[in-house]
């Protein structure tokens, strides 16, 4: 595979001038302070709104309305795709650039996660660089670490906190005791959450990211439909408070791991012991754990989003372009990647679980609850029941011994049918590994 055109200078076309795009242009203005092997020259830019104030002078660059036109320009060596979205202009721009043999640097996690195979194959066919460090965990150099630095490690599991919005919400709910809706509104005010937070709080954003890591770490085909996803929008303040009394923290954990029949990917709120590395990650920070032989566990932490961290990751990829020929974007050639597998029984087949609920204010509800669990073969490890107070419903938290998830789900369905609880119980997996 050949290196990008240009001798010592890379000519850039930047598509997308939002928060990250503006941050990148500011960083390029200071490139003399960086440790780059060559020079970066911005030739042209493209965005939806030419007149928007981005805090940086774009008048010195050629303006292009259509990012695909930018991707086809003869005086551009590298297309920096910061448009976002899995389809539409972003996909067309990346495809056009790769077909032209141009290098592509992208921060677009959705595009890589949902179309990674076809785009990687296109890059390989045209001997073009396709780099996307900024798509996962912001300033944490985890993509290159897994793809290159840890290529001598037999990876067994990649897990972590990959969405700063969710981690901020869960951290603040623990710190303040406030309700989910209250903390979400504050996260939006501070800029940690979008006005439409669905992709973050549903777990979709973290799923995109862990899928990319799974592809690189395990040689698996990125197939978003195969990722098992749960969000945090059903978590209540009482769940966080009661799990804390058990010395657990609730975190949205994204993980990919080898199982007996293949590679699995899942995202879900999980209880982790307070001594666990992920329990120590608070606020909008990200963390990634890589486990394998012969190194054991490696921990990477840092800011996972924002103009500065993401722009820094893009700059790292631009520096990589000076180093030599392109390599397969997903580690192995696209044709050699193996399918992901999906568990038939939900987000976790077997394990220990947390059940959070409010007992209805009627006699015998506690006995009815434990009876239904017992009938389903579920053994209780620990239990906390608090006073009903003025609410008339008593908060309760149960930790189970290991059991099939399907059994717990069946028991909770029966409990709902009998109206034993005053709310819909929350079922969360417990991470038993320290």
State the Cα torsion 255-226-91-306 to the nearest 10°: -20
Burial 241-250 (b: 16+ CB within 10 A, else e): bbbeebebbb
- End-to-end, the C-alpha distance of the chain in Å comes to 43
Residue whose pair of structure tokens reads 């239990």 in the numeric block:
383
Give the dihedral sign, CA 279/181/225/140.
Answer: negative
- State the DSSP code for 60: T
Clarify whether 209 is annotated catalytic: yes
Quote the CA–CA distance of 71 and 90 in Å, as a whole number: 11
Structure tokens at 19: 């928060």
- In this structure, the strands spanning 350-359 and 403-404 are antiparallel
Structure tokens at 1: 């595979």
* Contact call for residues 265 and 210 (beta carbons, < 8 A): yes
* Contact call for residues 114 and 224 (beta carbons, < 8 A): yes
- State the DSSP code for 421: B
Which are the contacts of 260, defined by CB distance < 8 A and separation ≥ 6?
none
- Tell me the three state secondary structure of residue 227: coil
Quote the CA–CA distance of 180 and 173 in Å, as a whole number: 7
Burial 46-77 (b: 16+ CB within 10 A, else e): bbeeeeeebebebeebeebeebbebbbbeebb
- In this structure, the strands spanning 285-293 and 380-385 are unpaired
Q: Which of 109, 147, 209, 332 is catalytic?
A: 209
* Contact call for residues 175 and 249 (beta carbons, < 8 A): no
The set of catalytic residues is: 209
């Amino acid at each position: 595979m050949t290196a990008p055109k240009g001798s010592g200078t890379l000519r850039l076309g930047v598509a997308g001038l939002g928060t990250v795009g503006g941050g990148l242009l500011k960083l390029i203005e200071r490139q003399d302070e960086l440790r780059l092997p060559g020079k970066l020259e911005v030739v042209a830019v493209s965005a939806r709104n030419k007149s928007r104030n981005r805090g940086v002078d774009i008048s010195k660059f050629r303006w292009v309305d259509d990012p695909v036109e930018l991707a086809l320009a003869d005086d551009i060596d590298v297309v920096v795709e910061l448009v976002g979205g899995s389809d539409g202009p972003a996909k067309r721009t990346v495809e056009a650039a790769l077909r032209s043999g141009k290098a592509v640097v992208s921060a677009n996690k959705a595009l890589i996660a949902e179309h990674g195979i076809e785009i990687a194959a296109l890059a390989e066919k045209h001997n073009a660089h396709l780099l996307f460090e900024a798509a996962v965990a912001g300033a944490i150099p985890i993509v290159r670490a897994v793809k290159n630095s840890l290529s001598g490690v037999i990876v067994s599991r990649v897990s972590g906190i990959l969405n700063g919005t969710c981690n901020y919400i869960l951290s603040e709910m623990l710190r303040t005791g406030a309700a989910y809706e209250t903390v979400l509104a504050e996260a939006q005010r501070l800029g940690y959450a979008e006005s439409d937070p669905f992709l973050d709080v549903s777990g979709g954003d973290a799923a995109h990211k862990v899928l990319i890591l799974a592809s690189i770490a395990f040689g698996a085909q990125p197939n978003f439909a195969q990722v098992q996803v749960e969000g945090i929008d059903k978590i209540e303040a009482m769940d966080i408070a009661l799990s804390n009394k058990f010395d657990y923290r609730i975190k949205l954990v994204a993980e990919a791991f080898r199982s007996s029949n293949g590679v699995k990917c899942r995202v879900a709120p999980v209880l982790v012991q307070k001594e666990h590395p992920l329990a120590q990650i608070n606020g909008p920070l990200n963390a990634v754990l890589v486990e394998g032989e012969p190194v054991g566990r490696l921990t990477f932490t840092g800011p996972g989003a924002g103009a500065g961290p993401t722009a820094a990751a893009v700059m790292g990829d631009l520096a990589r372009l000076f180093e030599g020929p392109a390599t397969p974007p997903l580690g192995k050639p696209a044709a050699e990647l193996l399918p992901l597998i999906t568990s038939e029984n939900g987000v976790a087949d077997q394990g220990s679980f947390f059940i959070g609920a409010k007992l209805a204010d009627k006699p015998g509800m506690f006995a009815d609850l434990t009876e239904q669990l017992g009938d389903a073969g579920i053994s209780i490890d620990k239990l906390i029941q608090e006073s009903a107070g003025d609410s008339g419903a008593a908060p309760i938290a149960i930790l189970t011994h290991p059991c099939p998830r399907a059994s717990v789900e069946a028991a909770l369905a029966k409990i709902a049918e009998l109206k034993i609880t005053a709310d819909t119980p929350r079922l969360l997996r417990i991470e038993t590994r320290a």
